[in-house]
A = this chain, B = another copy of it.
Amino acid sequence: MNPIVVVGSVALDSVRTPFGEAEEALGGSASYFAFSASHFAPVRIVAVVGEDFPVAHRELFDRRGIDLSGLETTAGRTFRWRGEYAAELGHAHTLETQLNVFSSFHPRLDRHHRASPFVFLANIDPELQLEVLDQMESPRLTVSDTMNYWIARKPERVLDVLRRVDVALLNEEEARALSGETQLVRAAAQLVQLGGKAVIVKKGEHGSLYATQEELFVAPAYPVSGLQDPTGAGDSFAGGFLGWLARTGRVDADSRRQAMAYGAAMASLAIEAFSPARLIAAQPTEIGDRVSTLHRMVEFRLEPLSK
């Protein structure tokens, strides 16, 4: 199967939601992505942690067969994030961000990373995302994520990344901020207009939409019964999306539609527990069942309006 390289953060998250809290749990965009995608294809992480990064966390990756040869350990403390979610569970309110060892991070890709056919540029400085793209040999599919922090500070670099990758992922707030459009279908169309080859807007409970010059596809969110913690939903979506394409080795438009459903399934698993615990424990049958449910949720028979 086609390996995926992910460049992003491996962090220690402290999160509070109306349903509970977690202290210094394993988090970070590369972690959620890797656990999600590991159900589909081999994953290689490029990231940095401090000397305080727990061995137990490292073992969680090992057990899922995730390649940590690109996980640098440097002097200092691991990246930490503290946040909370209100009752709506829409957007995280960041209480504290300690970049720590992440502040001087420059991704170093070995030969086997550079040769990876599938690439996920998780939410990091767009300049670093461009550095990674420069190092890749001849990837079959490159996908990026971003966040409002970078859109506010380096909008031109975020657009540079959006133009260079095959698929750019954004959440609704980010899509609005970067495009200047309020309605999300128009926001996605505007980002395609600005040079994006394909744009995915993640809309939380409203699902996600995929837009190119030719295509508009929408996938619903899988209806979770016990939402616990939305942290990592977007990266888990990306893991299912890229994971499916890497597993099948196909990147055509129809396969991307399927990949959107696998993304939705993985996001739904991620948010059913604090930390990536539920994502790690997911079984292939339940992933498949969720995709079947999503398929049935939108299915209707086309019947013309005859006289």
Contacts and interface: CB of A to CB of B under 8 A. Distances in A.
A40 B287 CA distance: 40
Interface stretch (A94-102, A131-139, A140-148, A297-305): A297-305
Nearest to A218: B220
Interface residues of A, number: 45
Interface string A270-307: 00000000000000100110011001011111111101
B304 A288 contact: yes
A300 B295 contact: yes
A238 to B, nearest CB: 17
B203 A299 contact: no
Interface string A192-207: 0000000000010111
A205 B223 contact: no
Interface string A180-219: 0011110000000000000000010111000000001111
Contact of A291 (B218, B297, B302): B302
Nearest to A285: B305
A23 to B, nearest CB: 26
A11 interface: no
A205 B185 CA distance: 8
Contacts of A73: none
B218 A205 contact: no
A260 interface: yes
Nearest to A258: B300
A305 B284 contact: yes
A89 interface: yes
Q: Which of A39, A184, A299 has the most CB of B within 10 A?
A: A299
Contacts of A223: 185, 216
A17 to B, nearest CB: 12
Contacts of A295: 300, 302
A232 to B, nearest CB: 18
Contacts of A257: 299-301
A89 B291 CA distance: 33
Interface string A230-249: 00000000000000000110
A247 B39 CA distance: 47
Contacts of A292: 302
Interface of A: 39-40, 87-89, 182-185, 203, 205-207, 216-221, 223, 227, 247-248, 254, 257-258, 260-262, 284, 287-288, 291-292, 295, 297-305, 307
12 contacts: A39-B305, A88-B182, A207-B218, A254-B300, A257-B300, A258-B303, A260-B300, A261-B300, A284-B305, A292-B302, A298-B298, A298-B299
Given A183-B205, A185-B205, A185-B223, 5 more contacts: A89-B183, A203-B206, A257-B300, A258-B300, A295-B300
